[in-house]
Amino acid sequence: MIGVLVTFTQAEKFDSSVLAKTADELREPFEGMPGLRFKSFMLDEAGLRARNFYVWDDEEKGRSFFTEELVEKVTGIYGTRPEIEYLDIVGFVDNSGT
C-alpha cells in the first residue's frame, strides 16, 4: 500500500467553494478506479495549500498514475504546479465499514 500526497501551494488563498466544486466535478473518474482505495480533497487552515491524498493498494499503480500529462492537467486546474510525495503506509485503520 502506498500513500501519495499532492500539494498545490499559492501565495493567495484558495477559494474553498471553488475547490469544493472542483472536487465534486472531478470525483466521478476516481470512483471504482482499480487499485485506488480512497482519495481526499483537502485545504489547509490558512487556505494557501490545497492537498489531495490518495491511498493505493498497489505501489506501481500509484506511481504510474502521476504522469507528466496528468501533472500538466492538474496544474491548469489549480493554477500552480503540484509537489508530489510518495509515502510508505506502514499502518492503516479503516472504519468505513463500521
Q: Which residues have CB under 8 Å from 30's CB, separation 6+? A: 36, 39
pLDDT for 98 beyond 90: no
pLDDT in tens, 61-76: 999 999 999 999 999 9
pLDDT in tens, 39-58: 999 999 999 999 999 999 98
Give the span between the Cα atoms of 72 and 94, in whole angstroms: 32
Angle at 19 between CA 15 and CA 20, to 5 degrees: 115
